[in-house]
């Protein structure tokens, strides 16, 4: 209920997913939130393929609320009740495009952390010059960066990338201000040493420009840096569309040029659109929690559902726990 277009995007995204899933799918969606609003939206579309149930929650965690609000004051919110369903085994995954901080804090308390995980982390895929994307983490779960945290992010990210991209030994790198091992903060230098001694396919430090060229499969940084990179990258797609429109509006000839190149531009820029990746997993939590963008469209929600199914079926958490211990 906490996203910008709730519950419209959530419901439309689920309908879209079921239009593409096999008719005999065992997947079921539980909509958690205002039963009346959810019912009214479902009545507009009258979906025939969608398998769903509704769990009423009469409180909403707003985007501006503190991270701990769902735990302290809004236990009848869709975030708290949805995570309760997951904790109690009534759902295999929890997905939200609402307040990220509240989702993470509530998930950490209700679900607990995987044994060996000091902090949960959020990873996000970035398009690269190569066919496969780069996974950057942390992108906002923890703003400080102890060396142990960075090491664990690398372990969790490597396992997640291996499962999602079918890459046996993903290349892992530390994001830094230079490639030399002497660069960076003291904690980053310590993390470099830990990663050098690990069994991971660690290739050393890379710089920001190396993310999009695909030098590494998994890029590790603190949440402060990662979140800034993520928000900048997300803004590029909208910026690019605006500049193309401004160019087209200057003349008829420009409009014709743009019209001729639209199919190519659409295909090339597809990987830059956050909607294509749906949501990002909260790794390190003893459960499957997917976090989406606050302005998630139905396409983003649809892809979030596919991502959740992949994570559940690949049993990523068990592999992470084994690696960390």
pLDDT value for 143: 84
CATH of domain 1-114+284-314: 3.40.718.10
- Do 1-114+284-314 and 118-245 agree at the fold level? yes
- Residue 218 CA to residue 139 CA, distance in Å, equals 12
**Mean pLDDT calculated for residue range 147-157:** 95
For 208-235, write each residue's pLDDT tens digit. 999 999 999 999 999 999 989 988 887 8
For 46-85, write each residue's pLDDT tens digit. 898 999 999 999 999 998 899 899 899 999 999 999 999 9
Query: Are 130 and 287 within 8 A, CB to CB?
Result: no
When mean pLDDT is compared across 158-162, 237-241, 287-291, the lowest value belongs to: 237-241
Query: Are 277 and 125 within 8 A, CB to CB?
Result: yes
Percent of the chain with pLDDT over 90: 65
pLDDT value for 174: 97
CA distances from 258 to 97, 250, 266, 269 (A): 33, 11, 11, 14
Statement: the pTM of the whole predicted model exceeds 0.75? yes
How does residue 274 score in pLDDT terms, banded at 50, 70 and 90? Answer: low
Whether residue 248 is predicted with pLDDT greater than 80 in this model: the reply is yes
Whether residue 152 is predicted with pLDDT greater than 90 in this model: the reply is yes
For 179-198, write each residue's pLDDT tens digit. 998 999 999 999 999 999 99
pLDDT value for 74: 93
- Topology given in CATH for the domain delimited by 118-245: Isopropylmalate Dehydrogenase (3.40.718)
Spans of all domains in the chain? 1-114+284-314, 118-245
Whether residue 237 is predicted with pLDDT greater than 90 in this model: the reply is no
Percent of the chain with pLDDT over 70: 97
CA distances from 315 to 82, 159, 278, 287, 318 (A): 21, 10, 19, 10, 6
């Amino acid at each position: 209920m906490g996203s910008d277009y709730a519950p419209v995007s959530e419901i439309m995204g689920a309908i879209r997913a079921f239009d593409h899933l096999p008719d005999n799918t065992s997947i079921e969606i539980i909509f958690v939130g205002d039963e009346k609003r959810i019912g009214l939206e479902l009545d507009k579309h009258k979906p025939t393929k969608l398998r769903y149930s509704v769990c009423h929650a009469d409180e909403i965690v707003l985007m501006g609320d503190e991270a701990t609000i769902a735990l302290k004051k809004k236990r009848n919110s869709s975030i708290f009740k949805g995570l309760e369903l997951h904790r109690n085994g009534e759902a295999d995954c929890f997905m939200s495009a609402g307040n990220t901080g509240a989702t993470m804090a509530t998930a950490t308390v209700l679900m607990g952390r995987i044994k060996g995980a000091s902090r949960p982390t959020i990873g996000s895929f970035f398009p690269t010059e190569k066919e496969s994307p780069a996974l950057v983490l942390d992108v906002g779960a923890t703003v400080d960066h102890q060396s142990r945290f960075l090491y664990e992010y690398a372990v969790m990210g490597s396992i997640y990338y291996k499962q999602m991209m079918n890459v046996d030994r993903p290349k892992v790198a530390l994001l830094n201000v230079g490639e030399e091992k002497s660069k960076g903060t003291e904690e980053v230098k310590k993390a470099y040493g830990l990663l050098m001694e690990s069994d991971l396919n660690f290739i050393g430090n890379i710089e920001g420009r190396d993310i999009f060229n695909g030098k590494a499969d998994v890029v590790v940084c603190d949440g402060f840096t990662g979140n800034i990179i993520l928000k900048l990258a997300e803004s590029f797609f909208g910026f690019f569309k605006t500049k193309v429109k401004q160019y087209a509006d200057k003349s008829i000839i420009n409009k014709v040029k743009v019209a001729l190149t639209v199919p190519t531009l659409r295909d090339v820029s597809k990987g830059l659109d956050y909607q294509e990746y749906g949501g990002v997993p909260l790794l390190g939590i003893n459960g499957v929690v997917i976090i989406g963008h606050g302005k998630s469209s139905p396409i983003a929600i649809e892809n979030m559902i596919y991502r959740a199914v992949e994570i559940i079926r690949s049993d990523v958490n068990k592999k992470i726990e084994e690696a960390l211990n």
